């Protein structure tokens, strides 16, 4: 299957050294959503940029979202035709509804939509993510109809987690791609 890996970073962008940036450089079929304001995100602005990027892609899309971008993707999927999306890797969702877990500048992404997705997806969290409890991440995965992976004590699965090319994440992505292929037969 010829597809595009759409890298969707969260708050602050996924810059050099972050596994999302490494994947963007590593996979020739990867592209990235670029936001106008990475540090003071506004849901409506971010939705417009995500939608414009999706509409500019000709091939089927596999979304690779991190942190705040998971809520962004959920809002977009609830409001738009998702027929171009064949799957999503939803990594380290930030609990935008929890003042104890997330900063105020991302609360405008609440509430997190709980509708079941119309495409295969996998939610990945870690046992000690400061931006969401593993129990809450698993609850979201169940609501969305997503497979769920808890990868242990690895923080927010971001630059500070020092994941490099995050081979474990690539294997989980491969699992998703296999599921997509089976669904298309």
C-alpha–C-alpha distance, residues 164 and 159, integer Å: 8
For residue 78, what pLDDT is reported?
Answer: 96
Report pLDDT for 185: 66
Q: How many alpha carbons lie under 13 Å from residue 52 in its C-beta half-sphere?
A: 10
Ranges of residues in the chain with a pLDDT under 70 are 1, 185
- Burial profile 77-107: b = 16 or more Cβ within 10 angstroms, e = fewer: beeeebebbbbbbbbbbbbbeeeeebeeebe
Report which of 140, 120, 149, 137 is spatially closest to residue 62, judged by C-alpha positions: 120
pLDDT on residue 182: 84
Question: CB–CB of 89/75 below 8 Å?
Answer: no
CA atoms within 13 A on the CB side of 160: 7
Contact 61, 86 (CB under 8 A): yes
DSSP run (H or E) holding 31? strand 30-32
pLDDT score, position 1: 55
């Amino acid at each position: 299957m010829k597809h595009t890996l759409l890298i969707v970073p969260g708050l602050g962008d996924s810059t050099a050294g972050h596994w999302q940036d490494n994947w963007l450089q590593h996979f020739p079929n990867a592209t990235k959503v670029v936001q106008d304001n990475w540090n003071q995100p506004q849901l409506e602005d971010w939705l417009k940029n995500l939608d414009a990027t999706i509409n500019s892609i000709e091939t089927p899309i596999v979304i690779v979202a991190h942190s705040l971008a998971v809520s962004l993707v959920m809002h977009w999927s609830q409001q738009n035709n998702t027929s171009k999306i064949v799957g999503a890797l939803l990594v380290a969702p930030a609990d935008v509804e929890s003042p104890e877990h997330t900063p105020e500048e991302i609360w405008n992404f609440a509430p997190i939509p709980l509708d079941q997705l119309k495409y295969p997806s996998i939610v990945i969290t870690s046992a000690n993510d400061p931006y969401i409890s593993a129990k809450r991440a698993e609850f979201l995965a169940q609501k969305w109809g997503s497979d769920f992976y808890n990868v242990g004590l690895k923080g927010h699965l971001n630059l500070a987690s020092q994941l490099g090319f995050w081979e474990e994440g690539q294997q989980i992505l491969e699992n998703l791609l296999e599921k997509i292929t089976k669904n298309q037969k």
